[in-house]
Amino acid sequence: MTGKPDQSVTKSDRIVISVDAMGGDAGPAVVVAGLAMSAKKNPQLGFLLHGPAEELAQLVAKRRILDGRVEIRDSQKVVTMDDKPSQVMRNGKGTSMWSTLDAVNKGEAAGAVSCGNTGALMALSMLRLRKMPGVNRPAIAILWPSRNPQGFNVMLDVGADVRADAQDLLQYALMGTSYVRNSMNIRRPRVGLLNVGTEAHKGHAELKEAHTLIAAQAEKADYEFVGFVEGSDIPGDAVDLIVTDGFTGNVAIKTGEGTASMLRTTLREAFEYSVLSRIAAILAYTSLSRLAKRIDPRRVNGGVFLGLNGTVVKSHGGADATGISAAVKLAFLLAEQGFAEKLAARVASVVELTQNDADPQDAEHPTK
Amino acid sequence: MTGKPDQSVTKSDRIVISVDAMGGDAGPAVVVAGLAMSAKKNPQLGFLLHGPAEELAQLVAKRRILDGRVEIRDSQKVVTMDDKPSQVMRNGKGTSMWSTLDAVNKGEAAGAVSCGNTGALMALSMLRLRKMPGVNRPAIAILWPSRNPQGFNVMLDVGADVRADAQDLLQYALMGTSYVRNSMNIRRPRVGLLNVGTEAHKGHAELKEAHTLIAAQAEKADYEFVGFVEGSDIPGDAVDLIVTDGFTGNVAIKTGEGTASMLRTTLREAFEYSVLSRIAAILAYTSLSRLAKRIDPRRVNGGVFLGLNGTVVKSHGGADATGISAAVKLAFLLAEQGFAEKLAARVASVVELTQNDADPQDAEHPTK
């Protein structure tokens, strides 16, 4: 319970992830189960775990694999799914979420994972970690199953902020490019700007302006700008990165998730329909498992907050142990690669690049 | 080739649909094949078919079922997928699309079907049919496969206009309610307003304003207002009607379509993977066919333009004969029920209801 992590956690080969045990739909037991899965797969991982110390100590004690790899930080207050971000900004101190982020701020952990309330997590992240110099609006980037060889595309913003002007969209393109490069090892990512059609005359005025800005930085920032893309390109293979405002991105991923979930239910019903189809399901078990794994939303669990001084991974509120483990894995990978530092360098270089091109009229488009 | 349909088409038990043979990706042969499918299923149907007369006459002559049920209207000009709506508004006269809509305007047909360029079709529809009194922005409504007993939800706007203010969203709720009632026989539709969360504090200011307006009209206009819904509710069973602006709606349906299409490909690959999975696919054939039919986008082909003086069904540009036939069926059903007249009556009654409540500040939100 001291301010410093104990020696077993911080020995030099360990990468420590700060984890919020509270705020998820399934409670802290599932979070601890997720940490145990991660610890088993990756001996380099250590954890700071935030929440009611007594309850957490009991849960951790049950998992031998976590012996000496988890330091518990007591916090009795919890941010709930119903708390408004504005309330949390005023009264968030002392919550497990605050404590989780504070450890990253103090350099005690290389990244944070929480499955709590997204709006509150972003608000507290901005308060504790602050925006990276040169970033106006931080964004949430997610992975989406796609037809690309890497199996996933990145999309941002999916809900950090419902507004985004042309300059914000340019920053999303730059931060997203850096994320794709580091998480997928694609040297020159292909970038698309989400619109209602691929023709240049379509969409809002802000989008046309963003099109110009993003096109202008492509060479210097080393990405390929494909231009406008449509919703159907989010799971497609035309681009690696989809840039959009948080409102549109949030609706798009939830529509895609809902559609995929409806199809899974319908598929299950189809196989349960008759004796013959049940036999078929048994025969097709391996193939269907492969399919299920490919489109399993738990495998891609983890929205990454980009544009802050530190890495924060937002896990789905309804995540199970597999989902938590996926979010931890993502935080680990980004920490291992020094992603936060690379992103900061990238943004800084672009702030220099663009400060002469900045359009003062942007201030006239405060809302989408 | 005269201005009047011939007697075989207009005999009293026929409902005539005006069909644009041109502008689809697959050309007029597929459109004619679709009409033949429709004509076979429904003896009440007659057609006015618009495009190059000589080519169309040859195609129609090959289908005996169409004997005496198709009148061809010659037009040599075609609106292409690349034409801008603004160009088409200036130079659209003489195109097959113009001619298709003109027949509805003159009362020669009970509805129009086109698989051409959406933006151009809406622009010409506004020019030829005019907006219904009291409607500011017409909208495109589509059917989306859902968990509801009726199998589908309605969503609008999906791309008629990228902007919509609070008053527009209220009109969408009213027009959409009327469409759900007439196409699905649901007396008191449940209406949801699309947002990034269900909590009252989320989203743009315009959405909060629209929330208030739509809630206020629920009782008089006889719908149940569920409040804010999320993207995951589009294929869900919480509401029958989803109201949103054309930008968000368009991105959402294309994301959903793209995700469904990726899943279908992945499923097919899973079944082709091994001998065992191929045998399973054969055993599961009936169940999989039922699934495929349930989620077949061709079965729900047809966006309906709401808010015009006449019914226009926009078929998908890539529609095959089955898709064209589905669009014709929709135009027929709406014509048979006198939907255009019912909608006009509904909008007129609401214009009366709301004209005292109208908020003059709406003019301050020119975008989104």
Average pLDDT over chain A, rounded to an integer: 86
In this predicted model, what pLDDT tens digit does every residue of B56-98 receive, in sequence order?
999 999 999 999 999 999 999 999 988 888 889 899 999 999 9
Spell out which residues of chain B touch residue A281, defining contact as CB-CB under 8 Å: 280, 284
Where does B1-129 sit in CATH, by number? 3.40.718.10
Point out the least confidently predicted range of A345-349, B46-50, B159-163: A345-349
More reliable by pLDDT, A197 or A57: A57
How far is B308 from chain A, CA to nearest CA, in Å? 22
Please report the pLDDT score of residue B263 as a whole number: 78
At residue B239, the 3 state secondary structure works out as coil
How far is A9 from chain B, CA to nearest CA, in Å? 38
Same fold yes or no, B1-129 and B132-301+339-368 = yes
The ipTM, to two decimals, is 0.82
How far is A279 from chain B, CA to nearest CA, in Å? 8
- Looking at CATH, the fold of the domain delimited by B132-301+339-368 is given as Isopropylmalate Dehydrogenase (3.40.718)
pLDDT of A156 higher than 90 = yes
In this predicted model, what pLDDT tens digit does every residue of A243-294 receive, in sequence order?
999 999 999 989 988 888 887 787 777 777 777 777 777 776 776 676 666 6
Query: By the CB < 8 Å criterion, does A89 face chain B?
Result: no
Q: Which long-range contacts (CB under 8 A, 24 or more apart) does B126-129 make?
A: B126/B308, B127/B89, B127/B92, B128/B98, B128/B101, B128/B102, B128/B104, B129/B101, B129/B104, B129/B105, B129/B308, B129/B309, B129/B310, B129/B312
Query: Between B235, B287, B290, which is nearest A259 by CB?
Result: B235
Residues counted in chain A:
368
Point out the least confidently predicted range of A221-230, A282-291, B16-25, B47-56: A282-291
CB contact under 8 A, B246 and A196: yes
Spell out which residues of chain B touch residue A119, defining contact as CB-CB under 8 Å: 197, 202
Query: By the CB < 8 Å criterion, does B159 face chain A?
Result: yes
How far is B292 from chain A, CA to nearest CA, in Å? 9
Res. B159 pLDDT band, cuts 50 70 90:
confident
Please report the pLDDT score of residue B150 as a whole number: 85
Chain A residue with Cα closest to B364: A367
pLDDT of B364 higher than 50 = no
Spell out which residues of chain B touch residue A196, defining contact as CB-CB under 8 Å: 159, 162, 246-247, 250-251
Query: Between A236, A283, A367, which is nearest B204 by CB?
Result: A367
**A167-185: average pLDDT:** 92
Chain A residue with Cα closest to B163: A204
CB contact under 8 A, B232 and A258: yes
Spell out which residues of chain A touch residue B151, defining contact as CB-CB under 8 Å: none
Res. A183 pLDDT band, cuts 50 70 90:
confident
Point out the least confidently predicted range of A170-179, A277-286, B335-344: A277-286
Question: How is chain A split into domains, by residue range?
Answer: 133-300
Spell out which residues of chain A touch residue B87, defining contact as CB-CB under 8 Å: none
**A305-318: average pLDDT:** 92
- Looking at CATH, the fold of the domain delimited by A133-300 is given as Isopropylmalate Dehydrogenase (3.40.718)
